[in-house]
């Protein structure tokens, strides 16, 4: 499956995660107190849109757009993976996308939202859609300075 997790980890995405033991089930922690006035459904709708935009930018190898959607350390990994593709453009169709907020917590001067995405993606026209399940950590760094959520980490889930 071509999802963002595979590019982050190279062509052996799931195999590398499995060797590291990273595909173990994520413990379902109760979300920390949500910020006053947070519209959870609105947040998840925006998170789904972020997923689609990031997948599109990844497919196109659009570095400037990825810079708007990912944190610096993750962006460096993404750019390295794009360089390995030698200009190849991918086309991933997001057939179905579900999002669930697992946790929301302050980390230093950032806010971090843990969102579980699942659904179906199609890598090639005419190919069957494949199921995926990933944990995305979305960060809002220095909330006063930058109100935008950026992808900080992705983990494929079994």
The tens digit of pLDDT for each residue in 38-64 reads: 889 999 999 999 999 999 999 999 999
The tens digit of pLDDT for each residue in 68-83 reads: 999 988 999 999 989 8
Q: Tokens for 158, please give them.
A: 């079994």
DSSP symbol at 70:
B
DSSP symbol at 127:
S
The tens digit of pLDDT for each residue in 71-119 reads: 988 999 999 989 898 878 888 999 999 999 998 888 888 889 999 999 9
Of 90, 97, 156, 88, residue with least CA distance to 121: 97
The residues pairing with 132 across neighbouring beta strands, listed in sequence order, are 119
Question: Cα separation of 29 and 10, whole Å?
Answer: 29
Stretch (H or E) spanning 143? none
Q: Tokens for 109, please give them.
A: 């001067």
Assigned CATH topology for domain 5-22+46-156:
Nuclear Transport Factor 2; Chain: A, (3.10.450)
């Amino acid at each position: 499956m071509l999802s963002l997790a595979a590019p982050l980890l190279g062509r052996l995405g799931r195999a590398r995660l499995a060797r590291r033991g990273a595909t173990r089930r994520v413990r379902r922690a109760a979300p920390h107190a949500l910020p006053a006035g947070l519209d959870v459904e609105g947040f998840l709708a925006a998170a789904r849109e972020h997923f689609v935009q990031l997948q599109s930018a990844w497919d196109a190898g659009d570095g400037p757009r990825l810079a708007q959607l990912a944190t610096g350390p993750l962006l460096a990994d993404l750019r390295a993976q794009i360089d390995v593709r030698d200009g190849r453009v991918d086309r991933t169709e997001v057939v179905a996308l579900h999002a669930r907020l697992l946790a929301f917590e302050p980390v230093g001067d950032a806010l971090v939202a843990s969102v579980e995405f699942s659904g179906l993606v199609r890598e090639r026209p005419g190919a069957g859609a494949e199921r995926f399940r990933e944990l995305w950590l979305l960060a809002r760094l220095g909330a006063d300075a930058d109100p935008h959520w950026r992808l900080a980490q992705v983990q494929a889930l079994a």
